Structure 1
Amino acid sequence: MYYLQQIHIPVEKETFFPFSVPAFAKQDRLILEQPISVFVGENGSGKSTLLKALALKINLPAIGSLDLETDETLDGFRSFSNSIRLIWNKNRNYRGFFFRAEDYFGFVKRLKNIDVELKNDIVDFEKNLSGYGRKIAVGAVNGQKEALTRKYGDLTQVSHGEGFLKVLQSRIQTEGIYLIDEPEAALSPQRQLALFSMIKSMAANQGCQFIIATHSPILMSLPQAQVFQFDESGINPINVEETEHFTIMKNFLNNPDSFLRFL
C-alpha cells in the first residue's frame, strides 16, 4: 500500500532558494509507483531539500532535539513546502517520522534531558508525597524510565552507527510513511546492509512507505525501489546501474590506480 502517490511541485517559480533549484524548474510532479522511493543526485541537487519540504508538508514527527515547527534550520523551506501539493490514496496514514543523519545526536540529547526530568520528578515526589501516593507516583515515573531503556538502551554507550540503527529499528512501525535523509552518513557498509534488510522487509510485509535521499549505491539497490535522479534536467527515474554514484564506485573499486594517478 503506497500512501503518498503524487508530489506536485509549484509551477509558479520564484527566484529565491529553494524554488530556484534547477531540478525543480524542470519538473512539475513526481508519481510514486513503488513502496520505496530513492532520491539521488549530486550535493545541492535538491533531493534533501524536497525531503525536508515533504516532512513539513506532511507534518511528520521529527527524530531529533527539535520538532519541525520549532526547528529554525527549516525556516527557509517553509514557503516552498506550503506550495507543494500532495495526492494520497484513500487510506492516508499519519504514522511515520522524518529523520536526518545529523538529528541523531539531538535525539540522544533529548533522551538524556527526558531522563533528567524524570529523575527530578522522582526527587520531587519523594520530597512532597508520602505513603501510597508517593509509591504510585514514583512507580509510574520509574515505569517510564524503564520503558525508554527497553526501547533504546543507553545510546551513549554505543557507537554512532549502532545507535542510529537502533533508533530506526525501535521507531519504525507497520503501515507508516518514513522520510530518511542520507542515513549512510552514520552507517558502515555492514550496517547499511542491516538497514537495507529492515526497509526491504517493512516495505514488503508491513505496509510501510519509505522516501530516502542517499548517496549510497547499497541503499539505491533496494528491491521495489523507484530511483529518481535530481539534476539540471529535472527529476527523472533512473536505473541504479546508470547513476553516477554506482558507476564511479564500481570503476574505482575495479581499478583504483586509474583514478589515483589523476588525484
Structure 2
Amino acid sequence: MTNYFTQFCLECSYRLGEDELGQKIRHLPENSHYIKSEDILYEIKKIQQQQVLSDGMLYDYIKKGMTKEEAIKYLESKAGSKQMEYIMFAQEKYSNGETSMQYFEDFLQPDTLYLLDEPEVFLSPANQVALAKEINNMARWLDCQFIIATHSPFMLGTLDAKIYNIDSKEYAVTKWSDLENVRYFYNFFKKNEKEFE
C-alpha cells in the first residue's frame, strides 16, 4: 500500500495542538495512515486473488526454496494460518462489505491518526453504524484520532464527532441532521412514509 499519508502531510499546513497536559504535540503518531475507498477495494481484490491462487500457495513457497514439508509446516503455523484465514474469508459467501469490515478490524491500531475517505463505501447501513461505533470506541479508549470524509447519514448520526460542513464557505461546524445530504434522505423518506405504514 502506498503511504499517501506522509506525502499528504508534507503538502499541507497543519498544527498538532497540545496534549492533555498542555504540552505542544511535535509529531504525528508513527503509524498514521490515509485510507481511501480505493485502498479498501484494492485489499478486497487482493484477498479475492489469494483465494483464486490458493491452490498454488505450496508451489509459491517451494519456489522460494522451501521443501514441500517446510511449506506445509509453515502453512500450518500461526503466520501461515493467518494467510489461510484471509483466503477462506474471501470465499464467495462473503460480500465486499463484510471483507471491508474485516479490513478495518485487522488494520486499525491504537495510538494512531487516520484520515478516512468515505469508509462507508461497500458497507450496508448496519455495517456503517457498526464501523462508526468501533471508531467511537477506538477514539475513546485507544487514543486514536480520526478525520473522516463521509456522506453517510448512518455514520454521521452515530459518530461522536465534531462535524464540519465543507460545502459551506466557512467550513462551519454543524449538526449532522442539518447537512444537505442528510436532509435529502430525510425528505425522501418523509415523502414516502406511507410506504412504511
Q: Please indicate the TM-score interval, normalised by the length of the shorter structure.
A: 0.7 to 0.9
After TM superposition, give the deviation of residue 122 of structure 1 in Å.
Answer: 2.5
Give distance in 1, aligned partners of 2:113 and 2:127. Answer: 22
Report the secondary structure of 1:185's partner residue.
coil
Identity percentage of aligned residues:
22
Give distance in 2, aligned partners of 1:153 and 1:236. Answer: 45
Give distance in 1, aligned partners of 2:62 and 2:73. Answer: 12
Report the secondary structure of 1:86's partner residue.
coil
Instruction: Tell me, yes or no, if the aligned pair for 2:114 and 2:146 is still in contact at 8 Å.
Output: yes
List structure 1 runs of 4+ shifted beyond 6 angstroms: none
Instruction: Tell me, yes or no, if the aligned pair for 1:181 and 1:212 is still in contact at 8 Å.
Output: yes
1:167 corresponds to = 103
1:102 corresponds to = 38
Q: 1:148 to 1:179 in 2, by over 3 A?
A: farther
Q: 1:57 to 1:192 in 2, by over 3 A?
A: closer
Q: 1:101 to 1:86 in 2, by over 3 A?
A: same
Give distance in 1, aligned partners of 2:173 and 2:139. Answer: 20
1:87 corresponds to = 15
The answer as to 2:83 corresponding to 1:148 is yes
One-letter amino acid matched to 1:195: L
Larger strand proportion, structure 1 or 2? Answer: 1
Q: Which stretches in structure 2 are left out of the alignment for 5+ residues?
A: 17-24
The answer as to 2:139 corresponding to 1:203 is yes
Q: Which has the higher contact order (CA 8 A, sep 6+)?
A: 1
Q: 1:179 to 1:151 in 2, by over 3 A?
A: farther
Give distance in 1, aligned partners of 2:103 and 2:87. Answer: 7
TM-score (norm 2): 0.73
After TM superposition, give the deviation of residue 152 of structure 1 in Å.
Answer: 7.3
Report the secondary structure of 1:94's partner residue.
coil
The answer as to 2:168 corresponding to 1:220 is no
Instruction: Tell me, yes or no, if the aligned pair for 2:28 and 2:113 is still in contact at 8 Å.
Output: no
Give distance in 2, aligned partners of 1:167 and 1:129. Answer: 29
Alignment of 1:37-52 (within 5 A): none
TM-score (norm 1): 0.57
Report the secondary structure of 1:87's partner residue.
coil
> In structure 2, which of residues 44, 56, 59 is the aligned counterpart of residue 120 of structure 1?
59
The count of residues paired between Structure 1 and Structure 2 equals 178
What is the Cα-based RMSD across aligned positions, in Å? 3.0
After TM superposition, give the deviation of residue 186 of structure 1 in Å.
Answer: 0.8
Give distance in 2, aligned partners of 1:152 and 1:229. Answer: 40
Give distance in 2, aligned partners of 1:226 and 1:124. Answer: 52
After TM superposition, give the deviation of residue 91 of structure 1 in Å.
Answer: 6.0
> In structure 1, which of residues 53, 56, 61 is the aligned counterpart of residue 4 of structure 2?
56
Deviations 1:209-254 (A, max 9, x none): 1111111112112343011111261422222122112222112212
1:10 corresponds to = none
Deviations 1:43-90 (A, max 9, x none): xxxxxxxxxxxx73535xxxxxxxxxxxxxxxxxx7xx6431232324
One-letter amino acid matched to 2:166: F
After TM superposition, give the deviation of residue 123 of structure 1 in Å.
Answer: 2.8
Give distance in 2, aligned partners of 1:171 and 1:154. Answer: 15
1:139 corresponds to = 73
